[in-house]
Structure 1
């Protein structure tokens, strides 16, 4: 396995470089980065929809219900892809609402769990604080959606930069291991 990875060390380096570049773009050109992510999602949804439609109308002798499900899945994917292309703001806002709903629900559930656990564990206030932070984050996302989208994008950008740097470091180690493997084979 080491030989395989060492042979392709440059692919790992390329992934790292692209991740760092994406992260930098997320910080310095957040609107363009968000637009690119949304449009890429739209392209994926449309391509997935078209492939499901092609499977549904292919010459295979599937049951009619199987074809119907595939056709419905294909139309749904194609519809979401087209909606994303013609109205990317709706897709970005929908994603933001999904994140806000999830963090709100998580915060409420953490708060409830802390109340229930208060007799069983000491310092349940940590869980209460975690729940409150999630609730406040959700409210802020809903109160100022553009700022919330920017914050989420910056978190993704920070992750991409850190992960990219680590991949570049790993690629350099793999390159060194490849050199050592080639030298050991030649001797």
Structure 2
């Protein structure tokens, strides 16, 4: 997992950008219908999951923890497929799916942050993103019908934007670290020749 994340900062950029777009759309259309909210959520989870799966497959031979982003991707894609092929899903079921997806994603983000903490600075951004996801997921799971549809859409939008910004900040740090680590590895080799 460490190598996959550190060599592919673009995974974090893609996931962060998808989250921000989803969040902006959810806030921009606060009175969305259930069908629209389901479609936005399905697109968000399918795209985010696909990004992690591609990264895991690409570096499975070089990273013994490649299964972690693969698991995150599979969970996201499974939830997205369920929402896509069952657009008439009830509001309660959709809310519970969103909450469960957020909790699982948050736990996996925290596990990844702990694994890379010795390799990069700024891993706290991924940890914070995971905590935000878990808190959001727990609120949604504990109070699934406590808010109206407009409030739910706004809450989802704020969560997605906050998570997206944190992931983009982490991507910038990972990118600079991977460049300096790459330059550090190239320097000694150049000096030995």
Normalised by the length of structure 1, the TM-score is 0.43
Normalised by the length of structure 2, the TM-score is 0.42
The structure that has the greater radius of gyration is 1
Q: Per residue, is there more helix in 1 or in 2?
A: 1
Higher relative contact order (CA 8 A, sep 6+): 1
